[in-house]
Structures are given as C-alpha cells and as structure tokens.
Structure 1
Amino acid sequence: MGRNQHVVPHNGEWAVRGEGTQRVTRIAPTQADAIEIAREIAINQQSEMFIHRPNGQIRDRNSYGNDPYPPKG
C-alpha cells in the first residue's frame, strides 16, 4: 500500500502532496485538475485520497486500496 494523497491549496493553486511529507508532488491550476492527478496516483499506489477545502479542512476522501470497512450489500 502506497502513501495517501492529499489535494491541498497551494499559493493560489492546488497541489497534490503525499502524506507525511511537505514536498508537493504536482501543482494544478484547479482543484478538479489536482483531484484527477491525485486519483491516478492513489489508484496506482492502492492508497487513499483526501480532498481539502481552501481553509485546509478535509471535505472528502476516497479509498483505492484495501478498504478495512468495505460497503455491505
């Protein structure tokens, strides 16, 4: 399982950053672009993606790995 990916505000743009690091992986002009980049990385690494609001709060998350609580049904 890879490093979780975070979509975060970055100097008026949006960045994708691996969890536990300050280094930015990629910068995108819009949040939607950054989400697509983070989704591809998370799928590739079988990890989770966290989408942050402009104020830094987490607004959404998606799991692309081994979900410990898969949906029942």
Structure 2
Amino acid sequence: MPGKNIHFVPTNNGWAVEAERGDGVQHQFAMQEDAIAAGTERAKREKVELLIHGRDGQIRERNSFGNDPRDIKG
C-alpha cells in the first residue's frame, strides 16, 4: 500500500507539513523554507508526492519522490 502524500500548507501562524488523509497531526514551522525542507525530506523518505500549497490554498508545485502518478518514461 503506497504511503500518504505530504502537503505543505499555510496556517495562521506560519506553515505546516501534514500527511494526506492523516490523523490531523501537523508539524508547524514559522519559516516557509524550513517547512518545505522538512516536507521534502519526509516525502523522499516515504517515497510519496509533496504538494506545496500557496497562501490561497491552491497547489502551486508538486514534486514526486518515487510515487509519480504520471505515466511518462525517461
């Protein structure tokens, strides 16, 4: 069973990294760069996709680390 994708999302006090359909546990960060770095490391370790959301909640970037949903060779 594949792991749950990781989401980088804005919060009232900064930024959070959380698992998709998770148990509500978030890792909070004041700095955006720290949250992205932590989310990237977790996504690499779990071989899932990292979805980076902007302040408006929209996904602005996606990075796949072993669970690429696209069927593109090369």
Determine if the TM-score, normalized by the shorter chain, exceeds 0.5: yes
Structure 1 alignment gaps of length 5 or more: none
1:67, distance to aligned residue in structure 2 (A): 2.1
Quick one: distance in 2 between partners of 1:72 and 1:36? 27
Count matched residues: 73
Quick one: distance in 1 between partners of 2:65 and 2:14? 25
TM score, norm. by length of structure 1: 0.85
1:1-73 correspondence runs (5 A) = 1-21=2-22, 23-69=24-70, 72-73=73-74
Give aligned-pair identity as a percent: 45
Q: Over aligned residues, Cα RMSD in angstroms?
A: 1.7
Structure 2 alignment gaps of length 5 or more: none
1:22, distance to aligned residue in structure 2 (A): 5.7
TM score, norm. by length of structure 2: 0.84
